[in-house]
Amino acid sequence: MRSHYFSSFSFILFLTILFNGESWCASGSAKNTNTSPPTSPRIQNVKSATTPEKTGTTIYKKDKVFPGYNIYTSDMTLNSFVRLVDMNSSLLHVWERNKKNEPGMWAYATPFPDGSIFVTYEGATTINWQRVNAASQILATYNLPGQKAHAATYGLKDGGFLGLVDNVPDNGRMRDIKNDSLVHISSSGQLLKQIPLSKLFAKDPTYQKKIKSVSQKPKKNSTKLSTNGKIRPFDPTHTVYIENLEQDIPNIAKKGCWLVTVRNLNRIIIVDPDKEEIIWQWGENIINWPHHAKFINGNQILLFDNGIDKKSSRIIIVDIKSKQIVWQYGQKPDQEFFTYTGGSVQRLPNDNTLISETNTGRAFEVTPSGEIVWEFYAQRTIKGKNLHIRSMIRVPYDFFKSLKFNYGKTFE
């Protein structure tokens, strides 16, 4: 197999911190040993030219939440920052992307106890992933030539990680077709495995119908111009999340298989990376533009169903064996929420669920019974709209071991 190497950087710290029991996994569990945050200033909201509406924490039921710090990436057009706020919306820390480095944005961030973060660098051509320290200084930059990274990475116990990339191959059709791939990167930065979605869905009738419909259309009628005037490639799959299976699911999948969310095919799939084939899938004609599917409780999958056709989103838990929905939040009169793009979800250690409603700039926590016990709105822009929240995750108060907060710095 042809190997690609990133710029040199040791993943030893990645391995030591992420998997020694001190790190935080969004779908895993953690013990809350410290429920009291340090004193910090209130968040400084960006002033709006219009009448201010909701910003900061609007609901906080202390006896029902899972307390901790909230880390989020925000609006796609201003996504040069990763912010950390407490439960009262006090701004504690900001990581800032070096805009001179390359155009693009930090789309997702994985934090570490030393205050560093590992980010996906979307929209860039020579950067796929990056790690920066608490002072926003670049520790490492990683790139696969000819590929663009998107969505979040998933850290593995050996120090490597899983990620998602895409390219626009010259396939001889009337226009280019974007081809997503699943990648496995070693702790030393070596590409160990790359599985194109076109291979996984080579015999899938829905996928083939999409491809065929594109090849038969004249170019002028089958393309869309992007904001920079270039032809936007057709995107038949659009993977948005990948996660590793950490334990066997009897008669379904073995440890080490990958859970993948395929937005444009309305599927969640489990892939055997050794056989390079789909061994389980669900969702077609049931979910609509899903995001962020992840394993919980050993035999279930939690995911964000955007519901773009109904303009009504929901959060779902699916039993893997029965393929039945066993819990959901949303689409009821008192639970309605919606985001057309983005959306993320995190199951918290107390069985509450943290939801990121991207386009509204809102994040909120609900109990298993559906009660909202915490709600937060991002800062507002000068145009009077909340910044988007691409993804928010929560870590316990004792997560950071050596981070010195850079309190109160406001970015517009």
Condensed to tens digits (0 to 9), the pLDDT of residues 328-387 reads: 999 888 999 999 999 999 999 999 999 999 999 999 999 999 999 999 999 887 677 788
Give the 3-state secondary structure of residue 14: helix
Q: What's residue 239's pLDDT? A: 95
Q: What is the pLDDT of residues 161-198, one digit of tens each?
A: 999 999 865 544 445 788 899 999 988 788 999 999 99
Task: Please give the Cα distance from 258 to 182 (Å, whole number).
Answer: 9
Strands 372-377 and 191-196: unpaired
Task: Please give the Cα distance from 108 to 246 (Å, whole number).
Answer: 22
Task: Please give the Cα distance from 383 to 369 (Å, whole number).
Answer: 36
Helix (H) / strand (E) containing 402: none
Q: How much of the chain, in percent, has pLDDT values that exceed 70? A: 78
**316 neighbors 302 (Cβ within 8 angstroms):** yes
Q: What's residue 369's pLDDT? A: 97
What is the pLDDT confidence band of residue 76, given thresholds at 50, 70 and 90? low
Tokens in use for 196? Answer: 């194109």
pTM: 0.84
**125 neighbors 148 (Cβ within 8 angstroms):** yes
Give the 3-state secondary structure of residue 219: helix
The single-letter DSSP state of residue 39 is P
Q: What's residue 151's pLDDT? A: 92
Task: Please give the Cα distance from 75 to 361 (Å, whole number).
Answer: 8
Q: 172 burial class (0-12, 13-18, 19+ CB within 10 angstroms)?
A: exposed
Task: Please give the Cα distance from 178 to 180 (Å, whole number).
Answer: 6
Query: Tokens 């309190």 identify what position?
Result: 407
Residue 5 confidence (pLDDT) above 90: no
- Amino acid making up residue 310: K
Tokens in use for 273? Answer: 């990376």
What is the pLDDT confidence band of residue 93, given thresholds at 50, 70 and 90? very high
The single-letter DSSP state of residue 8 is P
* Mean pLDDT in residue range 305-323: 97
Task: Please give the Cα distance from 52 to 46 (Å, whole number).
Answer: 10
Tokens in use for 388? Answer: 């988007």
Question: Pick from 349, 300, 363, 288: which is nearest to 326 by CA?
Answer: 300
* Domains of the chain with bracketed CATH: 12-210+232-395 (2.130.10.10)
Question: Pick from 338, 281, 12, 314: which is nearest to 160 by CA?
Answer: 12
What is the pLDDT confidence band of residue 79, given thresholds at 50, 70 and 90? low
* Mean pLDDT in residue range 211-224: 58
Taking every pair of C-alpha atoms in the chain, what is the biggest distance, in angstroms? 62
Q: What's residue 394's pLDDT? A: 98
Task: Please give the Cα distance from 154 to 105 (Å, whole number).
Answer: 19
Q: What is the pLDDT of residues 13-72, one digit of tens each?
A: 443 434 343 333 333 333 333 445 544 444 444 333 333 478 999 999 999 999 999 999
Q: What is the pLDDT of residues 223-279, one digit of tens each?
A: 454 444 455 678 899 999 999 999 999 999 999 999 999 999 999 999 999 999 999
> What mean pLDDT is reported for the chain?
83
Query: Tokens 């995107």 identify what position?
Result: 235
Q: What's residue 207's pLDDT? A: 95
* Mean pLDDT in residue range 65-92: 88
Q: What's residue 141's pLDDT? A: 86
Higher-pLDDT residue of 155, 267? 267
Task: Please give the Cα distance from 139 to 351 (Å, whole number).
Answer: 35
Residue 146 confidence (pLDDT) above 60: yes
Q: What's residue 107's pLDDT? A: 86
Tokens in use for 290? Answer: 């899903």
Residue 317 confidence (pLDDT) above 70: yes
